[in-house]
Structure 1
């Protein structure tokens, strides 16, 4: 692979920018990051690019700061201006470029091969928020034209719309690309008539050889009439899969191989899962073609897409130029890395569910919106989490703690408190009277009390972890109940000491929570596994509510019969 002159210029400008910014020789890692961000097609050739960057850095290092500044002013003055502009971190969404009187139309375009994940939710929230801001139209468009590799799930269509509504992003229109095959065919034929598209019969490796050597394939110069005949044969199912591809003519000499004569349609004979489509079609558009046509047909004014899709935009602009269309205004954003979620793709999750590794798409270990909903994460918290990230090309690395912090602000004031003892250990208490404990339902809000009847000389349960450092003679406060002194560890016995609150500080007592032995069985499902234990009876009155299990965390009560099942929200 040879690095082009244009790519060398890109390396030079970012190397100079780094040198001018810090007043010393450019740093390899910083330059590499900038270059790969602007030229993602170079990523498979990192070794060759690194060698070229080293050559450029060696050359620049022979100069001085004045020479660096002068050269950068010559080749990329905008980078000088960028260095001189102090950037303040801004939360929220920056204004869109909207013409006076323009009706803003934006879309979120998922592949429905599974439900929305937290990562894909950024597109739902941000696009819908912009549309609200400009009183525009928000469209959910299902890019479901791959019935084979990213095969749609029938349930996912409804899941997406339902999750959009829950997030406060009600779509004004829902579109399924698989309904519009005839429209795509019509535009394909128009491009063939314009001699801007041709049917290619090369095998994949054979065409790649031509493309990489910047040579046209043998089919590129077929007459329009021949291409139309081949196209008709494709539609009629006369060719096998991979035997023929409709390609868009571009610049076969283009420095970026990804932009040379890209594929627009391929033959797929796997029936589509939608019964109304099924095996009606055998020729399916690739995503760049389908998306380009849909964005035009739907009147898209603005597009927000990942900076890794810049090549897609460049490919689509060929189609727009050939058909005389104006391309929507595009904003690019960087990737989001959410530390706790790893790199599970929708396809990986689907496979793992089928293998029984997860209970379903709402398993609390998964990053799906269905899982977050079941855990008790609120839509308003997710919206604020996404909006605060803003829209910029810088890659973002965040923690779920930021989302949990927003959610905590919402649920803390309305979540009743209860005792839940996991990994329970039985403690026999002697000398204790019958007692009616009356802890508050909330420590700061006036929400009343909960009553827990405790009989005389009871057996109570406390957490195993609370017993680990206990020794005979320790004095313990049972929260909102009374004080005890440990008499024996095996069996676990304690003596009643009274209920004086003043003794807590005087005796430096540890405070632990507890439940009666005859409490209710509770199972908590969390991203870290399952917790089994006993809880207060009052928990059964909290079905579908979020509560706080004291010293454990917030949980959403998912079911109460025959036993309580709770989904862990966060601490």
Structure 2
């Protein structure tokens, strides 16, 4: 490494050490800054063996400073980054505002109300992340209530109930209670009967088109003034399944001249011919619409605060009519914008992902190309990282962009220090060795933790290098953990020079694997499968173990398998992130 580059490394290491120390009001350490340091300076990566040592010296000097000295130095080096840290300090520790009127309630009670039509995609994680965080902050209560009262257009998937609870567990939350709305039909019927008795609902046999025309013109439906006995009778006939789909609905009587046509005499119950997939609910044909079912449940479950999308503002207004009839107090409501996710070619939609799986375009919900929580979990991304990234979005009513890089950064902070290093060569090129190199290479398992020991990599007669690392003829390269070689006559000739040639000269540092004893690897990534070879020890790693393939990225070991003929074993790994 030349003097100019060394100076840059020292300056950047000092900045990142100060950022880490000031943000956490504690001493910095090498492990905490290496990820951000290398991420901001990708040209440092070829010198990965040297960076921790240089950074360690700088960090020692930073840690000798008092807090105010650190802050003043950071203000000189990176005033904008310091301002961001101080702005974060002024904000709530969870990046979330206080819940409105929280002090007026004996207990904060919230609900997560998924539609169980498939496992969760990444965007779904925002709701439980925020609700779970609020629950913990206020020592409150939250439930999972499966809003599964649409067996037709949003047909429940029987496997999704447990899959969603499994996703919630992955995120690190356990609900205080779990409900299925399809178990509560009789409760909704009873409330509908009460509403009819109050004169707040009527049965309507208008076609959808006919009612829409009346509604848009502010004209009442001819069934609006039916006598109560007829309404009661026809609603019981709906419950008994005596009408076909589209033949009869129950409407909540609102204001037929309301300025918002969407709120005029909205449908509370309809007939659905398609049986519910749950056997316990398969006999029902009269189903509540979401606004009625959810509104009743929120009251009965004593929900104090509701978080919902900005596009559902009309839901609160519809439900308010029902609450007014019953004399109930409506919960506090927070509306937020949608999460928009980058990095994926697949649309973040449960129905779209399900279709791609059915068509064979995706292997399943945990395919690395799928924007699902099951995919992130299989890739080795921790639920805590997703929660931290989601909470960081706050509760803005504007649509928010979530960069996967923010989840990766959170995850890197969680796993970097505990994850051992290994070599993986993708689509490698084989070169013979000459000049009597050592029989075994011993790179460290982790550059920051000498106590973990070293790897034992047999060298053999030849090595594999990545295509981009192939040296020019007569050029020297440093094989990590092994030594210096010169490329001469299609052979890597061992020179025996020490690490000073890297520090002082233009010698690239590259990773490698022994050609004869490497382990075939299939690494599953968001862009498709990548094949390569890893150092021998990778073949002995346990499933679910995390590794960092040096100069490639983090990966989770998934399994070891043989080919269809029972031949050589292959290790399957899932790429996590850089």
Structure 1 and Structure 2 fold alike (TM over 0.5)? yes
Q: Tell me, in whole angstroms, the C-alpha distance in 2 between the residues paired with 1:198 and 1:297.
A: 23
**What's 1:7 paired with?**
none
Aligned pair partner of 2:317 in 314, 317, 322? 314
**Equivalences, count:** 476
Q: Using the alignment, how far apart are the partners of 2:504 and 2:309 within structure 1? A: 60
2:478 is aligned with 1:473: no
What residue number does 1:520 align with?
A: 519
| Residues 129-166 of structure 1: per-residue CA shift (max 9 Å, x gap) | 21222222110000011111111111111112122222
Q: SS in structure 1 opposite 2:329?
A: coil
| 1:82 corresponding residue in structure 2 | none
C-alpha distance after superposition, 1:369-421 (max 9, x if no partner)? 11111111112212211222222323222311111111111100001000000
1:490-501 matches, cutoff 5 A = 492-501=490-499
Deviates more, 1:428-437 or 1:407-416: 428-437
Q: Distance in 2 between matches of 1:305 and 1:415?
A: 38
Aligned partner of residue 303 in structure 1, secondary structure: strand
Whole-Å separation in 2 of the counterparts to 1:110 and 1:332:
16
**Residue in structure 2 matched with residue 57 of structure 1 by the alignment:** none
Task: Pick which of 297-306 and 387-396 moved more.
Answer: 387-396
Structure 1 CA distance, aligned partners of 2:499 and 2:260? 75
CA deviation after TM superposition for structure 1 residue 505, in Å:
4.0
Aligned equivalent of 1:64? none
Alpha-carbon distance between aligned partners in 1 of 2:511 and 2:408, rounded to the nearest angstrom? 24
Q: Does residue 402 of the first structure (1) align with residue 409 of the second (2)?
A: no
Preserved contact between residue 523 and residue 530 of structure 1 (Cα < 8 Å): yes
> Contact conserved, 1:307 with 1:393, CA < 8 A, in 2?
yes
* Structure 1 position 345 matched with structure 2 position 349: yes
Question: Which of 289, 306, 311 pairs up with 1:303?
Answer: 306
Does the alignment pair 1:569 with 2:576? yes
Partner of 2:10: none
2:121·2:348 contact (CA, 8 Å) conserved in 1?
Answer: no
TM-score (norm 2): 0.80
The Cα of 1:275 is off from its aligned counterpart by 1.8
TM-score (norm 1): 0.81
Task: Quote the Cα distance in structure 1 between the aligned partners of 2:449 and 2:292.
Answer: 57
Query: Which residue of structure 2 lines up, in the alignment, with residue 51 of structure 1?
Result: none
Q: Secondary structure at the match of 1:198?
A: strand
Give matches, 1:418-567, under 5 Å.
418-446=422-450, 447-455=452-460, 458-467=461-470, 470-488=471-489, 492-517=490-515, 518-539=517-538, 540-561=540-561, 562-567=569-574
CA distance in 2, matches of 1:359, 1:233: 45
Distance (whole Å) between structure 2 residues aligned to residue 496 and residue 441 of structure 1: 24
Secondary structure of residue in 1 paired with 2:281 = coil
Superposed CA deviations along residues 432-490 of structure 1, whole A, max 9, x for unmatched, are 344210000111123211110113xx1211112323xx4322222211212222234xx
User: 2:118 aligns to what?
Assistant: 114
SS in 2 for 1:358: coil
Higher relative contact order (CA 8 A, sep 6+): 2
**Partners of 2:169 and 2:487 in 1: how far apart?**
55
Give per-residue Cα distances to partners, 1:305-355, cap 9 Å, x unaligned. Answer: 112111000000001101111111111222222222464310111111111
* Cα distance in 1 between the residues matched to 2:218 and 2:343: 44
2:21 corresponds in structure 1 to: none
Give 1:427 deviation, angstroms.
0.8
For residue 139 of structure 2, what is the aligned residue in structure 1? 135
Q: CA deviation at 1:100?
A: 4.9
Q: Distance in 1 between matches of 2:389 and 2:286?
A: 41
CA contact (8 A) 1:364 1:527 kept: yes
List alignment gaps of at least 5 residues for structure 2. Answer: 1-89, 562-568
> Counterpart in 1 of 2:375?
371
d(CA) in 2 for partners of 1:149, 1:557: 39
The alpha-carbon deviation at position 499 of structure 1 amounts to: 4.2
Mapped partners of 1:200, 1:330: distance in 2: 31
Deviations 1:177-212 (A, max 9, x none): 000001111111111221211111111112111111
1:226-375 correspondence runs (5 A): 226-278=230-282, 280-341=283-344, 343-375=347-379
- Distance of 1:499 and 1:244 partners within structure 2: 88
Which of 174, 178, 181 does residue 177 from structure 1 map onto?
Answer: 181
Match of 1:148 among 144, 152, 160: 152
Distance 2:148 2:257 in 1: 32
> Does the 8 Å contact 1:557/1:565 carry over to 2?
yes
Q: Are the equivalent residues in 1 in contact too, given 2:476–2:487 (CA < 8 A)?
A: yes
1:205 aligns with 2:205: no
Match of 1:72 in 2: none
Residues in 2 aligned to 1:296 and 1:157: alpha-carbon distance in whole angstroms? 23
Paired with 1:180 and 1:276, the residues of 2 have a C-alpha distance of: 11
- Contact preservation (8 Å) 2:541, 2:557: no
Alpha-carbon shift at residue 522 of structure 1 (Å): 0.7
Taking the aligned partners of 2:424 and 2:98, their CA distance within structure 1 comes to 48
> For structure 1, which segment, 500-509 or 548-557, has the greater mean C-alpha deviation from structure 2 after superposition?
500-509
Q: CA RMSD in A?
A: 1.7
Q: CA deviation at 1:294?
A: 0.7
